[in-house]
Structure 1
Amino acid sequence: MRSKFRATVLVSLLITQLIIVLALYLLAGQITGTAQANHTDALLEAAAVESADRIRTHIEPAEAIVALAATLSSDPGLSPPEFRSTFISAIARTPQLSGVFIGTADGSFFDVRQTEDGIRVKTITEGPSDRTTTLEILDANGTVATEREDPTDTYDPRARPWYLEAMADPTTLAWTDPYVFFTSRQLGITAAQAITRNGEVVGVVGADIELGSLSTFLSTLGIQEPGGTVIVDDSGLVIAHPNPELVQRAEDDEFKTVAIAELDDPFARAAIASLVEAGPDDTSSLHGFSGEDIGDARASFRSVPIHDGEWTVGVFAPEGGLVPSLSAARARERLLTVAVGALSVVLVGFTALTVTRPIRDLEKRASTDPLTGLANRRTVLRAAERAAAADGDRGAAMLDLDHFKQINDTYGHPAGDEVIRVVASRIKDAVSDDEASVGRIGGEEFLVIFHNATPTEASQACNRIRERVRSEPIPTTGGPIKVTASIGLATVDSICTAKELLASADTSLLEAKFSGRDRTIAGHYSRSAPEDDLDTVGRYEVLGKADLEEANIPAGRVPR
């Protein structure tokens, strides 16, 4: 009787233990699976938002220079060559701008363009009976290195897509469809606007933007194959892809833009097809889809208005494929649960710890720049929002590497990436975590948010950073490279918005660039300025390690 009782108790304990193990087994799978799905969606959405932001940042300089030049050109007293210094400055400080130009109704043409030999200035003058074409190549200091005439040149701006697009509607700024540029043979788009004088259209001003750097940006998002990213326009043409060689194809000795249906990436084709099938009434940003040799997958989409159309960013990955660390954790949890069923209570804690570790790793990946290990754009901008809304002395500094495009052109993009990594490390070494948050906001630009620093302390920190960056040449695969940086600092002691704080820092950065680079320009933002005073941001230059008092800078707003 006792033996039977003991057997019954033992069987009951075993059954109870099996139920506990089975419950833990199922629970571990459910928790990990749910976390995996949620974080996959979060990563897809973050990548899509960042890509859409990058597109706007990429094309805005072209819109700005075209609008400015079109307005100034309406003055009959100004001729195209008088824009020479403005166009040269825009090309030199905006890497994605490959050319800025003006074509007139008589066929004359003034063009400033970035080439392998340096900045080229091309002037075509159409006279009553003759035509002259002059080509100038500028050196790094902006002076003319070579000059020659080209009597064989037959270029006619009036036949180019940008001229025809602007003339179709002279009242608005227009963007062309993607096409291959005449000079560089690279895929790009052109912003163009007609020039009107006294109600008559006399020409068109335009700016070229090459799209290759958008493809380079997509390749840095860290979406693992077979997942990926793609940007298409509303006609189905592929604008950018992590593999730029897939975006163009040769046809009749010319390069043509590839349509999404022709793209040699079945995953990207299926992702865009899922968006088309959903139709315009489906406003959700996340879609599930499947396909042959693809399986179940997820995609996030964002639209970016471009003139009278829009581009669509798609970021996609197989379900579970974007976060393999979580998939491995799921299998490991179930195996451990079965293997140590007798220690189920201990296993609960172990399971929770093991499940959350890959989630924490995933959250770190979602907030970290993959190239430098610093905070990414999204994370450091959140730090700027917190600083702007806080009390006390705060500040923001924007740092931009000087002549970085020349480094990429001379030594190659791998060497450029090595420079960015070392510069990021030097910036991080120059300030403590308690003193500031440091992040990379794109390309060669960094953002430093000072949490509790007076203008003196912030300016001294900026000079430490600048001196550390330029301290010694950076060893790269292309050889040692000497690097300098320009810094724009904005400090504030009252509540403001992040947009106001960053706009002030950006303005200071532009002044540092135009003042000769390799320097810090600092400003103190104040909302207390009179409404009719447009200069609401005071600025001063911080030279070497001199602080504000040594530079005789008074407290509060400082006149420019």
Structure 2
Amino acid sequence: MSSPSNRRWQIAQFLAPIFGVVLVIGAIILVSLHNYHSTREGAIQLSRSLLNSEQRYITQEVSNYLSPARSSSVVAKDLLNGPDIDKDVINFMLLGRSVLKNVPQVASFYLADDEGHFWMMAPRDGNYEETTYKIENGQHVFHHEIRDSEGRFVSEDDLKTDPYDPRGQNWYLGALKKEQQPGKLSLFWRDPVPYLSTNQFIITASTTFKTIDGRRMVFAINIALNQLSHFVNSLKIGKNGQAVIVDVGGHIIAGHNMEAMRAAKFDTTKVKLDPATQSVFIRALNIFKIQGPGTGLVHIKDQNYVTIASAMALAKKSWVLLINAPESDFANFAQIVQKQNIYFSLIVIVLSLLLAVGFIYQGRRVVFFQKRLKKGQKKIREESAGLLAIANTPSLLNPEKEIPAMTEVLAERAKAKRTSLWRLLPDGQRLLCEDMFDRTEDIHGSGIELAKHSHPALFECLRDSQLIDVPNAEEDDRFRSVQRVVMRTIDSSHLLFVPILDQHNPVGL
């Protein structure tokens, strides 16, 4: 057993190189981290400023994109409030055709009154469709008049339909709930819905007002979102930045991946941010719900993203503009410098580690050889003691007397439950046990015979004169019978078979 001083020396020999390497690594890491964080913070501040400028630009563009809703509603309020409903309808069609011809994002116009009358203006195959809902001879129909851009009549047709009441539509009801405030025009914004005739999403803005003769009118304008999505997708935000406009529920209004969402077959409940591909936007939206608008830093899939979230106050209050860009787009130069520092640091660390490992390896080898030398010396002492015990046995060379010390020494050296010496009788057909020692019971026995006809495989192994180590004699066909006769009584299965030779001929085992 090693002394306390030796143990302390071994521990110091192992820990001293490691402690030195740790100090070197710690100093390098502290310097590198300080430089990296200083550079990174500056880059992030710069990226946030750029994203804020981008956010203001997008907000203004979205406001401009949706501005026809407010301007058209203001004009409609003043233009469609006369006492003659027929003239108001003519003016509505003129207004709608003019706006549709000059403002590409507008999809159509609706007009309805408190008596259930409904009119619509929409583009159709390069011309313009004026639609009026009528009841003729008990039939509910949409009457369409097609006119060119100058208002000249082209054709007309009727489409039978089920009873239709605009007063039950959400754009109508929403406008009634948002009554006009004094001096202001209050618009109700309906959530985006599919517009099947153009295969795109539209958003509807509606407002209500009263005419001179007291009729209540609701005017609505539909704005297509495909061009808004195209605009948002075309933005260059850093190198890999993206933008999207969503509502607070995560439904996409315009922007990133909106075109791919058309596979949802216009089910607006499915047109939501995708956790698999838009997890950064989802995280930024959740932060917006908790902390409100502002910039942030999101860590997703081992990468940092600079994000900004802001409410679209100039459009619909429930809309949120989300922008994200990988931090690497703005802090790439800092990362390059950091990588160079890391490479140089790794070289120093590796050299220090090699030096420390060399010291530790040499120390461990010294300890290993010391233990091996002590173990060899102990083994030599034990074998010498065993040989000495046999050599000092009286009548060692007298064949007429038993020598039990042989099996005892063998059992002790092999740590075996039982050892035995067997002599092959002159007929070569039997093995006679000269001495059997049970180490657990500390008793000797002899006289057992093993016949060749009962144990043929055993005699074959004896004839081959090879040392055999059998971990489980019960599963070995050669020694299964021996295990059953000799070994089972002590619940043993491991057998070491050592033939005894005289001039290369087996005489026992």
Q: Give TM-score scaled by structure 2 length.
A: 0.52
Instruction: Report deviation, 1:287.
Output: 1.4
How far, CA to CA, are the matches of 1:263 and 1:26 in structure 2? 32
Q: 2:310·2:321 contact (CA, 8 Å) conserved in 1?
A: yes
- 2:187 maps to which of 173, 185, 203: 173
Amino acid corresponding to residue 187 of structure 1 in structure 2: F
Alignment correspondent of 2:70: 63
Q: C-alpha separation between the residues in 1 aligned to 2:163 and 2:262?
A: 26
Match of 1:208 in 2: 222
Provide Cα deviations, 1:12-34, integer angstroms capped at 9, x if missing partner.
Answer: xxxxxxxxx99998897567534
| Unpaired stretches in structure 2, ≥5 consecutive residues | 1-27, 181-185, 346-509
Q: How does 1:393-404 map to 2 (within 5 A)?
A: none
From 129, 143, 167, give the equivalent of 1:134.
143
Q: Residues 28 and 236 of structure 1: is their aligned pair in 2 closer, same or farther, counting only changes over 3 Å? A: closer
The residue identity in structure 1 corresponding to 2:145 is: E
Distance in 1 (CA, whole Å) between partners of 2:279 and 2:125 is: 35
Please state how far the C-alpha of 1:330 moved relative to its aligned partner: 3.2
1:223 Cα offset (Å)? 3.3
Deviations 1:116-138 (A, max 9, x none): 44432222234695655332334
What is the alpha-carbon distance in structure 1 between the residues aligned to residue 121 and residue 136 of structure 2?
21
Instruction: Go from structure 1 to structure 2 and tell me whether the alpha carbon gap of 1:332 and 1:81 turns closer, same or farther (over 3 Å shift).
Output: same
Corresponding position: 1:148 with 2:161: no
Return closer, same or farther for 1:24/1:101 CA change in 2, 3 Å cut-off.
Answer: same
- Aligned equivalent of 1:41: 48
Residue in 1 that maps onto 2:245: 231
State whether residues 49 and 302 of structure 1, in contact with CA within 8 Å, keep that contact through their aligned partners in structure 2: no
Alignment pair present for 1:105 and 2:114: yes
Of 278, 281, 287, the residue aligned with 1:265 is: 278
Identity over aligned pairs, percent: 21
**How far 1:313 moved relative to its partner?**
0.7
1:29–1:334 Cα contact (<8 Å) kept: no
Deviations 1:106-156 (A, max 9, x none): 333222213444432222234695655332334455533333233457654
Deviation at 1:235, TM superposition (A): 4.2
Q: Is the Cα–Cα contact under 8 Å of residues 36 and 334 in structure 2 kept in the other structure?
A: no
- Give, as a single letter, the amino acid of the residue that structure 1 aligns with 2:48: D
Distance 2:35 2:255 in 1: 37
RMSD, aligned CA: 3.7
User: 1:178 aligns to what SS in structure 2?
Assistant: strand
Contiguous gaps of at least 5 residues in structure 1 = 1-20, 339-560
The answer to whether the Cα contact below 8 Å between 1:66 and 1:193 also exists between their aligned partners in 2 is yes
Per-residue deviation, 1:222: 1.8
1:178, CA displacement in angstroms?
A: 2.0
User: Cα distance 1:147–1:262, how it changes in 2: closer, same or farther (>3 A)?
Assistant: farther
Per-residue CA distance 1:212-249 (angstroms, 9 max, x = gap): 22211111112368642121224443212222135556
Q: Which residue of 1 aligns with 2:303?
A: 295
**Cα gap change, 1:258/1:23 in structure 2, threshold over 3 Å: closer, same or farther?**
closer
Distance 2:276 2:162 in 1: 36
Question: Alignment partner of 1:150: what SS?
Answer: strand
Structure 1 residue aligned with 2:459: none
Paired residue for 2:489? none
User: How far off is 1:207 after superposition?
Assistant: 0.2
Deviation string 1:460-487 (CA, Å, 9 cap, x unpaired) is xxxxxxxxxxxxxxxxxxxxxxxxxxxx
Larger radius of gyration: 2
Counterpart secondary structure, 1:223: coil
Task: Give the one of 98, 109, 113 matched to 1:89.
Answer: 98
* Separation of aligned partners in 2, 1:50 and 1:272: 20
Q: Could you tell me which residue of structure 2 aligns to residue 219 of structure 1?
A: 233
Partner SS for 1:323: helix
Q: How does 1:14-29 map to 2 (within 5 A)?
A: none
Distance 2:263 2:83 in 1: 44
Quick check: 1:277 aligned with 2:290?
A: yes
Maintained 8 Å contact 1:227/1:316: yes
Contact 2:209 2:216 in 1 (8 A): yes
Could you tell me which of 309, 319, 325 is aligned with 1:317? 325
Higher mean alpha-carbon deviation, 29-38 vs 173-182, is at 29-38
Count of residue pairs brought into register by the alignment? 311
TM-score using structure 1 length:
0.48
Offset at 1:43? Answer: 2.4
Q: Secondary structure at the match of 1:177?
A: strand
Q: CA deviation at 1:270?
A: 1.5
SS in 1 for 2:121: strand
Contact preservation (8 Å) 2:229, 2:256? yes
Please list, as runs of the form range in 1=range in 2, the aligned pairs for 1:149-548 lying within 5 A after superposition.
Answer: 149-152=158-161, 156-171=165-180, 172-181=186-195, 183-197=197-211, 200-223=214-237, 227-247=241-261, 250=264, 254=267, 256=269, 258-260=271-273, 264-278=277-291, 280=292, 285-291=294-300, 293-305=301-313, 309-320=317-328, 322-323=329-330, 326=333, 330=337
C-alpha distance in structure 2 between counterparts of 1:261 and 1:54, whole Å: 25
Q: Which amino acid aligns with 1:244?
A: M
Equivalents in 1 of 2:344, 2:189: separation in Å?
Answer: 59
Question: Residue 28 and residue 261 in structure 1: after superposition, are their counterparts in 2 closer, same or farther (change >3 A)?
Answer: closer
- Structure 2 residue identity aligned to 1:274: I
After TM superposition, give the deviation of residue 199 of structure 1 in Å. 8.3
